[in-house]
Structure 1
Amino acid sequence: MTTQQVLVGLDGSPQSEAAAMWAAQEAHRFGAALRLLHVWPWLSGAEAERQARPDDLRPAALDALARVADRIRTAHPDLTVETAVRGDDPVDGLVAEAQGQRMLVLGSRGLGGFAGLLVGSVSLAVAARASVPTVLVREAQPLPRTDTAPVREVVVGLDSCEPDEAVLEFAFTQAERRGARLRAVHGWEPAPAWAFGSMMPPPMDLPDQEGTETALLSEHLAPLRAGHPGVEVVEDVRIGGAANAVLDASAGAELVVIGRRERRHRIGMLLGPVAHAVLHHSTAPVAVVPHP
């Protein structure tokens, strides 16, 4: 059994408990231990003197974690489940605890009355900073894609010009372990033409452009297909932009995989527009995989 763990951030919400159950299946699938973690901010100075000491929260947090752990052990008797609490800023604590683990799993909650926005501020901030793949899971999971029979799919979104091997390897491994088909999605926009200071309609050679995009996608997927010969792959090239392409393809998917470029500073937006859109609007679990 690997020494890496699947780490889950729990805050007592239904979304985080759903994330814990999803993570338990993931840990069982990969032969990893599962670690349930609750993080809360420390009190300090005069404020700490006026309120209950932070240590007083530890027993209650451990009891809540123990209840979730018992449910998981009932469903997966052979799974090693650990519980822990940490006094820290939730984002800082989760990012620190995730280092060196197989993955971090968090619940994805909606924002107020905006039904289309499915990720909260803590989950979004952690996904932007964590050094390991971070999966955001909704409380209600979508039904699998169905035609004449259920088709299990993992969807990975990629740029045919700058694909990253770490993102593709994660997606292929997920599909392989799940016995699922991998749908590699590339959304692209035709380059506009300009004349006399105004934009003209795209040129009529769209089939040639699409053929070029498809060939690039196939070229980048070839080494991963060779390394995972048992994975069925669908190459899905769509006009209309990357975010829309991934979201359209993800309906009924078991998992959506997207990449995030690692940055060394904490100033500014750490997630690109495609990642933002997919995280906010996907109803399937979304894995954000950091890469150089």
Structure 2
Amino acid sequence: RLHPAPPAPPVIERVVYGLACALDFLHARRIAHCAVRLEHVLVDRRCVVRLCGLSKAVHCPDGTLSRSSIMFHVDYQPPEWSAVVDPFAVDLFAMGVILYRLLMGRMPREQLTSSKGERATVERTGVPWMRRKEAVTTMELLMSRHEHLRPRGAQLKHAEWLREAADDTPLWALLDVAGLVFSYDIEGRDMVAGSQPVELQHFRDAYPRYNVRLETMGVTAEDRQCWVHLAPFMHPSPHRVPLNASLPFIFRLFRGLGLRFLFVVDDDNRVKGVVTRKDVARFKEERRQSSYRVKEVYISQFSRH
């Protein structure tokens, strides 16, 4: 089960993506879970999410249920709790509460904000800076008081910040051979019984390999004279920076990766220029309280007369 402490951002993305797929599968068949809570979200070592607790699920063809029929199953009650409720919106609200706990490491507090006793579920607290703003926006929409603002499971699956959640990464390939790399100490000296050295083959098997000859693909001589525009399919990497990249960010890339140049691309991933290490060395930044200034440094300023 998920630990109450905030996990790493890639883990949050995979959990939210898996939970959105599960709810989309149920809601597309007009089935409401009615008992979505953190204890029913199971995650294995590859971060494959399974939603259990389906014993309280009900078939809801018209999209409405009475509050008395599900009030004993719902742990996270939405603010629109009335005599007739939308069970699908209740599931989405519970998903927002789970996302809140993943981001903040605790449950949202319930506060009375009016004489009618409405539940203030979105707490105005700071979110750690390393969390993505898109995740916070999704959390606020899922926990909104207005049901029509809550994104459905089909919309969440195609969210921008969840695009890479279903892809394999070297980290998941490493965890797939967890018995080979786990150790009892942080230095890796006291290894778990049965440990073996990690090989490059463990990462190669995690990615698809297409050992297909060009002759078997039906490519004609005329096709070989054509072009393929790969810019829309290129994946952004640290070796390419956008036009609005800051000077400290580019400087850290040069220092951390030991690069000699960086390509500058626009929003359509088209190359607009090249930045070299000498270009970065020509500028100097100054920070004084809330002011930030960048000025160009000329060689004549360092020359001796």
Q: TM-score range by the shorter chain?
A: under 0.3
Q: Which has the higher contact order (CA 8 A, sep 6+)?
A: 1
Please report the TM-score for the alignment, with normalisation by the length of structure 2.
0.27
TM-score when scaled to structure 1?
Answer: 0.28
